[in-house]
Structure 1
Amino acid sequence: MSSGADNPDAETDLSDDGPCAVVDSLEQIGSQWRLIVLHDLQDGEKRFNELKRSTNASSRTLSRVLDDLQEMGFVDRRMEEDAPVATYYSLTRKGTSLCPVFDEIERWADEWLQTPAGETEVAAESAD
Protein backbone atom coordinates (compact mmCIF):
# COMPACT_ATOMS: atom_id res chain seq x y z
CA MET A 1 0.00 0.00 0.00
CA SER A 2 1.37 3.39 -0.92
CA SER A 3 1.77 5.75 1.99
CA GLY A 4 1.83 8.88 -0.12
CA ALA A 5 5.09 9.94 1.57
CA ASP A 6 6.61 11.04 -1.76
CA ASN A 7 3.48 12.94 -2.76
CA PRO A 8 1.29 14.03 0.16
CA ASP A 9 -1.48 15.12 -2.24
CA ALA A 10 -1.68 11.67 -3.85
CA GLU A 11 -4.80 9.65 -3.13
CA THR A 12 -4.29 6.27 -1.52
CA ASP A 13 -5.90 3.53 -3.61
CA LEU A 14 -6.52 0.41 -1.54
CA SER A 15 -8.07 -1.49 -4.44
CA ASP A 16 -4.68 -2.10 -6.10
CA ASP A 17 -2.86 -3.46 -3.06
CA GLY A 18 -5.75 -5.02 -1.14
CA PRO A 19 -6.30 -4.42 2.56
CA CYS A 20 -3.41 -2.83 4.39
CA ALA A 21 -1.34 -4.70 6.96
CA VAL A 22 -3.05 -2.95 9.88
CA VAL A 23 -6.47 -4.19 8.80
CA ASP A 24 -5.12 -7.70 8.17
CA SER A 25 -3.52 -7.75 11.62
CA LEU A 26 -6.62 -6.52 13.40
CA GLU A 27 -8.73 -9.13 11.65
CA GLN A 28 -6.51 -11.85 13.15
CA ILE A 29 -6.19 -10.54 16.69
CA GLY A 30 -9.00 -8.02 16.86
CA SER A 31 -11.84 -9.82 18.60
CA GLN A 32 -12.43 -8.74 22.18
CA TRP A 33 -11.82 -12.21 23.61
CA ARG A 34 -8.68 -12.85 21.56
CA LEU A 35 -7.19 -9.58 22.77
CA ILE A 36 -8.11 -10.30 26.38
CA VAL A 37 -6.55 -13.78 26.29
CA LEU A 38 -3.40 -12.64 24.47
CA HIS A 39 -2.95 -9.77 26.91
CA ASP A 40 -3.53 -12.07 29.89
CA LEU A 41 -0.93 -14.58 28.66
CA GLN A 42 1.77 -11.88 28.62
CA ASP A 43 2.36 -12.71 32.28
CA GLY A 44 3.35 -16.28 31.42
CA GLU A 45 1.94 -19.77 31.07
CA LYS A 46 -1.50 -20.34 32.58
CA ARG A 47 -3.84 -23.25 33.08
CA PHE A 48 -7.26 -23.21 31.46
CA ASN A 49 -9.07 -22.49 34.73
CA GLU A 50 -6.66 -19.67 35.58
CA LEU A 51 -7.46 -18.05 32.24
CA LYS A 52 -11.15 -18.62 32.78
CA ARG A 53 -11.04 -16.83 36.14
CA SER A 54 -8.81 -13.98 35.03
CA THR A 55 -10.73 -13.25 31.82
CA ASN A 56 -14.27 -13.98 33.08
CA ALA A 57 -14.90 -15.89 29.85
CA SER A 58 -17.26 -18.83 29.74
CA SER A 59 -15.65 -22.25 29.22
CA ARG A 60 -17.12 -22.47 25.74
CA THR A 61 -15.90 -19.02 24.68
CA LEU A 62 -12.44 -19.55 26.16
CA SER A 63 -12.08 -22.96 24.48
CA ARG A 64 -13.05 -21.49 21.11
CA VAL A 65 -10.71 -18.51 21.47
CA LEU A 66 -7.76 -20.66 22.59
CA ASP A 67 -8.34 -23.06 19.68
CA ASP A 68 -8.40 -20.12 17.25
CA LEU A 69 -5.26 -18.56 18.73
CA GLN A 70 -3.46 -21.90 18.66
CA GLU A 71 -4.47 -22.51 15.05
CA MET A 72 -3.20 -19.03 14.07
CA GLY A 73 0.13 -19.65 15.81
CA PHE A 74 -0.21 -17.15 18.67
CA VAL A 75 -0.63 -19.67 21.50
CA ASP A 76 0.93 -23.03 22.44
CA ARG A 77 -0.99 -25.69 24.33
CA ARG A 78 0.79 -28.13 26.62
CA MET A 79 -0.89 -31.13 28.22
CA GLU A 80 0.38 -32.54 31.49
CA GLU A 81 -0.79 -36.13 31.85
CA ASP A 82 0.14 -36.60 35.51
CA ALA A 83 -2.70 -36.52 37.99
CA PRO A 84 -4.34 -34.11 38.03
CA VAL A 85 -4.40 -33.78 34.24
CA ALA A 86 -3.84 -30.15 33.29
CA THR A 87 -3.72 -28.09 30.11
CA TYR A 88 -1.37 -25.12 30.00
CA TYR A 89 -1.36 -22.25 27.53
CA SER A 90 1.44 -19.84 26.69
CA LEU A 91 2.35 -17.36 24.00
CA THR A 92 4.44 -18.51 21.05
CA ARG A 93 7.17 -16.32 19.61
CA LYS A 94 4.52 -14.85 17.33
CA GLY A 95 2.26 -14.15 20.31
CA THR A 96 5.09 -12.70 22.38
CA SER A 97 5.91 -10.31 19.54
CA LEU A 98 2.59 -8.58 20.30
CA CYS A 99 3.68 -7.57 23.83
CA PRO A 100 5.30 -4.27 22.73
CA VAL A 101 2.16 -3.53 20.70
CA PHE A 102 -0.02 -3.99 23.79
CA ASP A 103 2.37 -1.77 25.77
CA GLU A 104 2.04 1.00 23.17
CA ILE A 105 -1.75 0.68 23.06
CA GLU A 106 -1.83 0.96 26.87
CA ARG A 107 0.35 4.10 26.73
CA TRP A 108 -1.91 5.57 24.06
CA ALA A 109 -5.04 4.71 26.08
CA ASP A 110 -3.55 6.29 29.22
CA GLU A 111 -2.95 9.50 27.32
CA TRP A 112 -6.06 9.71 25.19
CA LEU A 113 -8.81 7.66 26.81
CA GLN A 114 -8.34 8.53 30.48
CA THR A 115 -8.82 12.29 30.17
CA PRO A 116 -12.16 14.08 30.16
CA ALA A 117 -13.34 14.87 26.62
CA GLY A 118 -12.72 18.62 26.77
CA GLU A 119 -9.16 18.37 28.12
CA THR A 120 -7.63 16.77 25.02
CA GLU A 121 -9.04 19.51 22.78
CA VAL A 122 -7.71 22.26 25.08
CA ALA A 123 -4.29 20.58 25.29
CA ALA A 124 -4.10 20.29 21.50
CA GLU A 125 -5.09 23.95 21.02
CA SER A 126 -2.54 25.21 23.56
CA ALA A 127 0.22 23.22 21.85
CA ASP A 128 -0.31 25.16 18.58
Structure 2
Amino acid sequence: MDFHSIRIVFLGSTLGLILRIIIQNNLKINLGFDIQNISVVNFIGSFFLGIFVALNFSNNNLLMLFYAGFLGSFSTFSSFIYQLFILFQKRKFLSLFFHYLEVMFIAFILFYLGYFLVKFLLM
Protein backbone atom coordinates (compact mmCIF):
# COMPACT_ATOMS: atom_id res chain seq x y z
CA MET A 1 0.00 0.00 0.00
CA ASP A 2 1.50 3.33 -1.03
CA PHE A 3 1.32 6.63 0.83
CA HIS A 4 -1.47 7.95 -1.42
CA SER A 5 -3.65 4.94 -0.57
CA ILE A 6 -2.96 5.40 3.14
CA ARG A 7 -4.04 9.05 2.92
CA ILE A 8 -7.29 8.05 1.17
CA VAL A 9 -8.13 5.43 3.82
CA PHE A 10 -7.19 7.92 6.55
CA LEU A 11 -9.52 10.55 5.06
CA GLY A 12 -12.43 8.11 4.77
CA SER A 13 -11.92 6.72 8.27
CA THR A 14 -11.71 10.20 9.77
CA LEU A 15 -15.00 11.21 8.15
CA GLY A 16 -16.63 7.93 9.22
CA LEU A 17 -15.43 8.30 12.80
CA ILE A 18 -16.62 11.90 13.09
CA LEU A 19 -20.06 11.03 11.72
CA ARG A 20 -20.33 8.00 14.04
CA ILE A 21 -19.46 10.08 17.11
CA ILE A 22 -21.96 12.78 16.15
CA ILE A 23 -24.73 10.21 15.73
CA GLN A 24 -23.83 8.25 18.86
CA ASN A 25 -23.74 11.35 21.04
CA ASN A 26 -26.58 13.41 19.60
CA LEU A 27 -29.19 11.16 18.05
CA LYS A 28 -32.22 10.46 20.15
CA ILE A 29 -34.63 8.04 18.53
CA ASN A 30 -37.77 6.63 20.06
CA LEU A 31 -39.06 3.78 17.93
CA GLY A 32 -41.26 2.33 20.62
CA PHE A 33 -38.58 -0.12 21.71
CA ASP A 34 -35.11 0.17 23.20
CA ILE A 35 -32.48 0.63 20.52
CA GLN A 36 -28.91 1.75 21.01
CA ASN A 37 -27.45 4.59 18.97
CA ILE A 38 -24.63 2.30 17.81
CA SER A 39 -27.28 0.05 16.26
CA VAL A 40 -28.66 3.04 14.38
CA VAL A 41 -25.11 3.77 13.17
CA ASN A 42 -24.78 0.19 11.97
CA PHE A 43 -28.16 0.40 10.21
CA ILE A 44 -27.07 3.56 8.39
CA GLY A 45 -23.77 1.86 7.55
CA SER A 46 -25.63 -1.11 6.09
CA PHE A 47 -27.73 1.22 3.97
CA PHE A 48 -24.59 2.98 2.69
CA LEU A 49 -22.95 -0.37 2.00
CA GLY A 50 -25.91 -1.39 -0.15
CA ILE A 51 -25.57 1.85 -2.08
CA PHE A 52 -21.81 1.46 -2.56
CA VAL A 53 -22.14 -2.17 -3.66
CA ALA A 54 -24.81 -1.22 -6.18
CA LEU A 55 -22.61 1.57 -7.55
CA ASN A 56 -19.92 -1.06 -8.18
CA PHE A 57 -16.90 1.24 -7.99
CA SER A 58 -14.10 0.26 -10.34
CA ASN A 59 -11.78 2.99 -9.07
CA ASN A 60 -9.53 1.59 -6.33
CA ASN A 61 -9.26 5.00 -4.65
CA LEU A 62 -13.04 5.19 -4.25
CA LEU A 63 -13.14 1.63 -2.95
CA MET A 64 -10.53 2.42 -0.31
CA LEU A 65 -12.16 5.73 0.60
CA PHE A 66 -15.67 4.35 1.09
CA TYR A 67 -15.30 0.65 1.97
CA ALA A 68 -12.07 0.46 3.96
CA GLY A 69 -12.02 4.03 5.21
CA PHE A 70 -15.48 5.45 5.73
CA LEU A 71 -17.55 2.31 6.40
CA GLY A 72 -14.72 0.57 8.24
CA SER A 73 -14.64 3.38 10.75
CA PHE A 74 -18.30 4.42 10.68
CA SER A 75 -20.07 1.15 11.40
CA THR A 76 -18.55 -0.91 14.13
CA PHE A 77 -19.09 -4.62 14.37
CA SER A 78 -17.09 -4.67 17.60
CA SER A 79 -19.59 -2.32 19.28
CA PHE A 80 -22.42 -4.63 18.27
CA ILE A 81 -20.57 -7.61 19.77
CA TYR A 82 -19.92 -5.57 22.93
CA GLN A 83 -23.66 -4.85 23.23
CA LEU A 84 -24.34 -8.58 22.99
CA PHE A 85 -21.66 -9.30 25.57
CA ILE A 86 -23.18 -6.84 28.06
CA LEU A 87 -26.56 -8.52 27.68
CA PHE A 88 -24.85 -11.89 28.16
CA GLN A 89 -23.12 -10.69 31.34
CA LYS A 90 -26.42 -9.42 32.70
CA ARG A 91 -27.93 -12.83 31.89
CA LYS A 92 -30.56 -11.22 29.67
CA PHE A 93 -30.47 -14.08 27.20
CA LEU A 94 -33.85 -13.37 25.64
CA SER A 95 -32.91 -9.72 25.08
CA LEU A 96 -29.58 -10.86 23.63
CA PHE A 97 -31.31 -13.18 21.20
CA PHE A 98 -33.87 -10.61 20.05
CA HIS A 99 -31.30 -7.82 19.82
CA TYR A 100 -29.13 -10.03 17.63
CA LEU A 101 -32.08 -10.89 15.38
CA GLU A 102 -33.35 -7.32 15.11
CA VAL A 103 -29.94 -5.89 14.23
CA MET A 104 -29.22 -8.58 11.65
CA PHE A 105 -32.68 -8.33 10.10
CA ILE A 106 -32.87 -4.54 10.00
CA ALA A 107 -29.28 -4.20 8.76
CA PHE A 108 -29.94 -6.66 5.94
CA ILE A 109 -33.19 -4.95 4.95
CA LEU A 110 -31.46 -1.55 4.88
CA PHE A 111 -28.55 -2.96 2.87
CA TYR A 112 -30.99 -4.34 0.32
CA LEU A 113 -32.99 -1.09 0.31
CA GLY A 114 -29.85 0.96 -0.47
CA TYR A 115 -28.84 -1.52 -3.15
CA PHE A 116 -32.34 -1.62 -4.67
CA LEU A 117 -32.73 2.17 -4.69
CA VAL A 118 -29.49 2.70 -6.58
CA LYS A 119 -30.27 -0.07 -9.08
CA PHE A 120 -33.78 1.32 -9.55
CA LEU A 121 -32.57 4.90 -10.03
CA LEU A 122 -29.83 3.87 -12.48
CA MET A 123 -32.18 1.88 -14.74
Q: Greater strand percent: which structure?
A: 1
Which of the five TM-score ranges fits, normalised by the shorter chain? under 0.3
- Structure ranking higher on relative contact order (CA contacts 8 Å, 6+ apart): 2
Question: TM-score, length-normalised on structure 1?
Answer: 0.27
Report which of the two structures shows the higher radius of gyration computed on alpha carbons.
Answer: 1
Q: Greater helix percent: which structure?
A: 2
